[in-house]
Amino acid sequence: MGLGAGGAALTLPAALSGPVQDAARSLLGCVLTAGGVSVRLTEVEAYAGTGEDPASHAHRGRTARNAVMFGPAGYAYVYFTYGMHWCMNVVTGVPGTASAVLLRAGLVLDGLETARSRRPAARRDADLAKGPARLCATLGIDRSAYGLYLLDERSPVRLAPPPLPVAPDQIATGPRVGVTGAHDLPWRFWIAGDPTVSTYRRHVPKRRSAPK
């Protein structure tokens, strides 16, 4: 079992039940396994709940799509985006308060050949799971993972504590990528200097053409 920032053993159920920013930090270095591939998480983003965070899928309340975000912690919230990509979040906080952490990037530890076969366009192994959609593609994660309990060793998608701790001074923070609200909240967390971390891009609204 990995160690937390203070040197104590990290217990994921407890870590994920806390404030979403703390939960996000605790996920760095954790190992996510699915579809014959294991990935060490290197970049995540925190999203708070109803009324707190305009970039959150739960900002306007509970829906059929986001219901799992309302807890309990440790479950998978998977959604489809841009009509082609799956992205996965880990639900955090206490039941009834919607919050989740988007898994943005990771380093493939096991199942490298399988990962390469799923992402043949990747030029480098560091690019296999660089970005939330690529991470899910590498692991073979799709809608079927929605609502799975990730801390169950029998689950087809499993989350395990870090094999090695990530020291607090190794964790960088900054704005979230591509969000349409709360652009400058420093709720993206990543392992500083890691080559698998995705490139920051701030969302730029499309300009409407002036009427002729």
> Which H or E run contains 40?
strand 37-47
What pLDDT band is residue 200 in, cutting at 50, 70 and 90? confident
* Section 122-142 average pLDDT: 97
C-alpha 84/C-alpha 91 separation (Å) is: 23
Residue-range domain boundaries for the chain: 12-191
Is the pLDDT assigned to residue 102 strictly greater than 70? yes
Task: Give the pLDDT confidence score for residue 206 in this predicted structure.
Answer: 54
Report the CATH number of the 12-191 domain. 3.10.300.10
Percent of the chain scoring above 70 in pLDDT: 89
User: Whole-prediction pTM value?
Assistant: 0.88
- Name residues whose C-beta falls within 8 Å of residue 129's C-beta, 6 or more positions apart in sequence: 39, 105, 106, 107, 108, 115, 135, 138, 139, 196
How high is the pLDDT of residue 59?
Answer: 74
User: Can you give the pLDDT at residue 203?
Assistant: 57
Closest CA to 111 of 41, 31, 37, 40: 37
Is 182 a residue whose pLDDT tops 60? yes
- Which tens digit of pLDDT belongs to each residue from 28-86? 999 999 999 999 999 999 999 777 787 777 777 788 888 999 989 999 999 998 778 99
CA atoms within 13 A on the CB side of 22: 14
Please report, in angstroms and rounded to a whole number, the separation of the first and last CA atoms in the chain. Answer: 64
Whether the per-residue pLDDT at 10 is higher than 80: the answer is no
Q: Which range, of 50-64, 68-82, 117-131, 186-200, averages the lowest pLDDT?
A: 50-64
Query: What is each CA distance from 58 to 51, 54, 65, in whole angstroms?
Result: 8, 9, 9
The continuous run of DSSP H or E covering 26 comes out as helix 20-27
* For residue 212, pLDDT beyond 80: no
Q: Which residue has the tokens 């979040």?
A: 89
Instruction: Return the higher-pLDDT residue of 85 and 198.
Output: 85
pLDDT at position 199 is 80
